[in-house]
């Protein structure tokens, strides 16, 4: 008996061990209030119970002590012992205020402590007001986080509050601090003559911009000038943000922190104050502007004879929308409002761009097509329509010349050495597909008769392109494009260059959007240092790349959440209606269906399906299959669905199968 008892104890010890190991990760608090510290892939997340959060908030980078570990299941529990980096310091909530104290309960579903507001930090807010607060401190001995009210949200609409909350949850500030605004206001509004004299002058060269109809921050312009009948000087001119945003300034610190502008359906949350993004740097028509230029000598057949880079000054002759440029391309002729014809130049640039595009795909770029869902909003930002926009030739014209400039800059920097060593540089890289995701996709493609060659990364890209070409226009096109994109790695910024697999480029960077992306500002600084022979090695460049990649992902999450909110808001008016839809994803708890007309995705729950049969997921077939009937619901299948619920708080649509 005694021996058996000892054996049982031994077995228990091998499963669960006490440990003093500490690890770092990101705290995610679920709707139920349970926390998980998310670890790098395959190392296993750490469960943290609410009483072990310490002074960490949802999304914070934390250090956690492992208190219990099951060696058989790799299940770990822990206690947070320190906050390394706050995800956000600003929050929205409702003020509760009486004579002796005040606190704010946050909006949203995350279980978080109430914020204590000292009475001298209320800033005229009243009991029950919706407010934006800023975290002041949360020391180990503080029972609650201490904050100050920075704004009272008077008469804010539910929509406006929701959009603000999405941005704050993503770690983006809603406004710029006073010192940032002061620094911005001190920047000269006129171009300095002394600076103009140092630059290459393109003001007498035909130059124009092509942008979305609602754009205000025009990052890029194109100029064109014939050298002879077959050779043209084509300039890609990029807003010279680095002229205004200098290293080690408050503006630069803020741009680094935000790292990107965030584009929501009804607003832009800019990386830089509006005076810079929409005025000083925006390449508006009929205004002289400072730019950084990549200039090419290119033949009609898209052969590059020469490339140069320099600081410049331009004067945009015209502002085209994508629709204007597309009309020229489709109709072959168009007059601008001021009576000057630019159709010849647009058509020539488009023909050259098409040749660059064809060459890219021949050399290994993967040809995924793209659709963009845009909302038609009324004066209160309420969605009254959804427009699905496809990438047309006008978009591709701009895309090809921007890709050309980005690639040329990366190639130039890559071959430049400093003291015999490569110069640290923020490359935009994209790794080869993840094998774990690729193999089930290949097995799925085989069922449709598509065979993949996986002998080399180049062969995989070629197989992708052949498949995408074959399914173009067929019912399964959307499924293969969606699943194909999911097999791909995420593109990131790093100083460790491995090339860009999706584009088929050995060297690539982001140079063309410095108004809205911080890595582009970093690229401009490195390039200028080389051109002036004043190279400064930034020892924190990889850290800046990591921050930029992180905030890019956060911005994408915000954009997805805001789009989902607008979809739910739009569909609220359509409860009880039946829609044609396509199955867009499957899981153990049901399948997602996306309406054909509006591209609004919602869940058909397994509970609803279980009324008919017991369904289980078949991973490599991307399907749910009934155990008794054999009935199959597979990605790409067409279905009819009934809208039964539209929950704005959860940003969730629920459908039932008709």
User: What's this model's pTM, rounded to 2 decimal places?
Assistant: 0.88
Tell me the C-alpha distance between 48 and 552, whole Å.
Answer: 27
Tell me the C-alpha distance between 116 and 337, whole Å.
Answer: 58
Tell me the C-alpha distance between 106 and 210, whole Å.
Answer: 42
CB 376 within 8 A of CB 306: no
**pLDDT of res. 20:** 66
| 159-163: average pLDDT | 91
**pLDDT of res. 477:** 83
Tell me the C-alpha distance between 602 and 166, whole Å.
Answer: 20
What one-character DSSP code corresponds to residue 281?
S
Percentage with pLDDT > 90 across the chain: 71
Residues of the chain within CATH 2.40.50.700 domain(s) are 90-156
CA 236 distance to own-chain centroid: 24
Residues of the chain within CATH 2.40.50.140 domain(s) are 18-85, 575-657
CB 284 within 8 A of CB 218: yes
Of 604, 613, 413, nearest to 497 by C-alpha is: 413
**pLDDT of res. 625:** 94
Q: How many DSSP H helices and E strands does the chain contain?
A: 16, 34
Instruction: Quick: pLDDT tens for 138-147.
Output: 988 888 899 9
What one-character DSSP code corresponds to residue 604?
E
**pLDDT of res. 109:** 53
CB 518 within 8 A of CB 258: yes
**pLDDT of res. 402:** 98
Instruction: Quick: pLDDT tens for 387-400.
Output: 988 889 999 999 99
CA 647 distance to own-chain centroid: 25
| 337-359: average pLDDT | 86
Of 53, 54, 35, nearest to 45 by C-alpha is: 35
Instruction: Quick: pLDDT tens for 220-250.
Output: 999 999 999 999 999 999 999 999 999 999 9
Tell me the C-alpha distance between 484 and 59, whole Å.
Answer: 29
| 443-465: average pLDDT | 90
| 153-173: average pLDDT | 89
Is residue 5 pLDDT above 50, yes or no? no
Instruction: Quick: pLDDT tens for 616-657.
Output: 999 888 899 999 999 999 998 999 999 999 999 889 999 999
What one-character DSSP code corresponds to residue 473?
T
Instruction: Quick: pLDDT tens for 553-575.
Output: 999 999 999 999 999 999 999 99
CA-to-CA separations, 503 to 81, 207, 357, 509, in angstroms, rounded: 43, 27, 10, 11
Q: How far apart are the first and last CA of the chain?
A: 62
What one-character DSSP code corresponds to residue 333?
-
Edge-first strand order for the sheet with 623-626 is: 615-618, 623-626, 632-634
Of 67, 68, 70, 66, nearest to 24 by C-alpha is: 66
**pLDDT of res. 102:** 93
CATH class of 575-657: mainly beta
Instruction: Quick: pLDDT tens for 406-437.
Output: 999 999 999 999 999 999 999 999 999 988 88
| C-alpha count within 13 angstroms, C-beta hemisphere, residue 473 | 2
Instruction: Quick: pLDDT tens for 167-223.
Output: 999 999 999 999 999 999 999 999 999 999 999 999 999 999 999 998 889 999 999
**pLDDT of res. 335:** 55
- CATH architecture of the domain formed by 18-85: Beta Barrel (2.40)
What CATH number belongs to 90-156?
A: 2.40.50.700
**pLDDT of res. 643:** 97
Is residue 472 pLDDT above 90, yes or no? no
Instruction: Tell me the backbone φ, ψ of residue 654, rounded to 5 degrees.
Output: -115, 130
| 90-112: average pLDDT | 82
């Amino acid at each position: 008996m005694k021996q058996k008892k000892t054996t049982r104890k031994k077995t228990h010890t091998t499963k669960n061990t006490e440990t003093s190991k500490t690890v770092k990760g990101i705290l995610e608090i679920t709707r139920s209030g349970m926390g998980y510290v998310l670890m790098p892939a395959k190392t296993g997340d750490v469960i943290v119970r609410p009483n072990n959060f310490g002074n960490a908030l949802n999304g914070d980078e934390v250090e956690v002590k492992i208190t219990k570990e099951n060696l058989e299941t790799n299940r770990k529990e822990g206690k947070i012992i320190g906050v390394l980096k706050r995800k956000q310091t600003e929050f929205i909530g409702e003020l509760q205020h009486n004579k002796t104290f005040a606190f704010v309960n946050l909006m949203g579903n995350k279980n978080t402590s109430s914020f204590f507001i000292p009475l001298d930090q209320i800033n005229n807010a009243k009991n029950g007001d919706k407010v934006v607060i800023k975290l002041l401190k949360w020391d180990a001995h503080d029972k609650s986080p201490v904050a100050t009210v920075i704004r009272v949200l008077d008469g804010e609409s539910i929509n406006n509050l929701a959009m603000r909350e999405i941005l704050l949850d993503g770690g983006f500030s809603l406004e710029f601090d006073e010192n940032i605004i002061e620094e911005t206001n001190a920047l000269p509004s006129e171009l300095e003559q002394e600076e103009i004299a140092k630059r290459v002058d393109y003001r007498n060269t035909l130059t124009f911009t092509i942008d979305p109809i609602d754009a205000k921050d025009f990052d890029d312009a194109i100029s064109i000038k014939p050298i002879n009948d077959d050779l043209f000087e084509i300039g890609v001119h990029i807003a010279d943000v680095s002229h205004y945003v200098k290293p080690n300034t408050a503006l630069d610190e803020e741009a680094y922190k935000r790292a990107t502008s965030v584009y929501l359906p009804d607003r832009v949350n800019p990386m830089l104050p509006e005076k810079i993004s929409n005025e000083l740097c925006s390449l508006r028509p009929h205004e002289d502007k400072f730019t950084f230029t990549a200039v090419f000598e290119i033949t009609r057949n898209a052969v590059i004879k020469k490339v140069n880079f320099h600081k410049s000054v331009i004067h945009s002759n015209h502002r085209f929308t994508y629709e204007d440029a597309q009309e020229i391309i489709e109709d072959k002729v168009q007059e601008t409002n001021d009576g000057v014809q630019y159709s010849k130049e647009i058509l020539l640039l488009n023909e050259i761009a098409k040749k660059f595009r064809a060459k890219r795909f021949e050399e290994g770029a993967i040809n995924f097509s793209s659709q963009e869902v845009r909302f038609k909003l009324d004066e209160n930002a309420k969605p009254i329509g959804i427009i699905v926009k496809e990438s047309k030739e006008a978009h591709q014209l701009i895309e090809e010349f921007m890709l050309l400039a980005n690639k040329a800059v990366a190639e130039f920097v890559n071959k430049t050495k400093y003291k015999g060593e490569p110069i640290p540089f923020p490359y935009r890289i994209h790794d080869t597909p993840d094998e774990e995701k690729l193999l089930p996709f290949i097995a799925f493609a085989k069922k449709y008769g598509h065979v993949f060659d996986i002998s080399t990364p180049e062969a995989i890209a070629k197989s992708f392109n052949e498949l995408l070409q074959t399914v173009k226009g067929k019912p399964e096109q959307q499924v293969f494009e969606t699943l194909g994109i999911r097999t791909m790695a995420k593109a990131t910024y790093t100083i460790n260059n491995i090339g860009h697999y999706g584009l088929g480029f050995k060297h690539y960077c982001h140079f063309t959007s410095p108004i809205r992306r911080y890595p582009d500002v970093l690229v401009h600084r490195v390039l200028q240092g080389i051109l002036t022979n004043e190279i400064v090695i930034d020892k924190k460049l990889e850290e800046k790349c990591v921050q930029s990649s992180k905030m890019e992902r956060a911005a994408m999450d915000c954009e997805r959440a805001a789009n989902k909110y607008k979809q739910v808001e739009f569909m609220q008016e359509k409860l009880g209606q039946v829609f044609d839809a396509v199955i867009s994803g499957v899981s153990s708890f049901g399948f997602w269906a996306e309406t054909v007309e509006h591209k609004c995705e919602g869940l058909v729950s397994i509970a609803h399906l279980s009324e008919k049969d017991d369904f289980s997921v078949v991973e490599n077939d991307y399907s749910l299959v009934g155990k008794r009937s054999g009935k199959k619901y597979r990605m790409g299948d067409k279905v009819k669905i009934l809208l039964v619920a539209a929950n704005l708080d959860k940003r969730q649509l629920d459908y039932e199968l008709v």
